[in-house]
Amino acid sequence: MPPISAVPAIFVADAPALDFLNSIATPVDEEVDWLADARGLLDWLAQSGWVAPQTLAHIEAGALPGELEAVATQTRALRDWFRTFVSKYAGNTLPTEALSDLATLNRLLDRDDKFSQIAASQHSPAQLELQSHRRWRTPDALLLPIAEVLARFICEEDFSNIKSCEGTRCTLMFVDHTRGKKRRWCSMSVCGNRAKAAAHRERQKATDD
């Protein structure tokens, strides 16, 4: 398996929650798991933008030996759970009965330690705005922004638009927000072009025969 840092994370799903599922994939020939260890988790969260760099640095500096590795293990377990959930309901409108499968996520959301503060607007300092903050008491708080992204996806996305890339070896998933719902590939520049090249070879072979 290539070094995680040598392979940029993939964000092509048009939905952050599915980008989380795509944090393990086969972008070329070998499977890459960007959450394979603590370093990978911190790098992936930084690339995703879900946690501020200064927060990641603060958590890393204050973590006890083994704590971040344990969080990486929990994150992979959460990803496995979410993949099972998505696989069960993808392709159809999510029914309210799905709530019975969400106990794991709700338990995690219940741990969140968020609060709001009135402060100067980040976009217009002359105005006030209500800002949301989170207390990062322990390293496992890194699971909370992930849980929030998954929860928003479950409540706001149409599961009938979830698709898997049609690439032969590709494992990436995405939400098809295109007009006509005709998206087939994770990326036209990767799997789409591979498919076109393969089809061209087949046509050429048929002509030669």
Residues of the chain with pLDDT under 50: 1-3, 197, 199-200, 203
Measured CA to CA, the distance from residue 168 to residue 180 in angstroms comes to 23
Those residues whose C-beta lies under 8 Å from the C-beta of residue 26, and which sit 6 or more positions away, are 32, 169, 170, 171
CA 192 to chain CA centroid, Å, is 21
- Whole-angstrom Cα Rg for the chain: 20
pLDDT of residue 52: 95
Residues 30-39 have pLDDT tens digits of 889 999 999 9
pLDDT of residue 1: 40
Measured CA to CA, the distance from residue 195 to residue 57 in angstroms comes to 42
Measured CA to CA, the distance from residue 9 to residue 41 in angstroms comes to 11
Helix (H) or strand (E) holding 69: helix 67-89
Domains of the chain: 4-95+102-109+143-208 (1.10.3300)
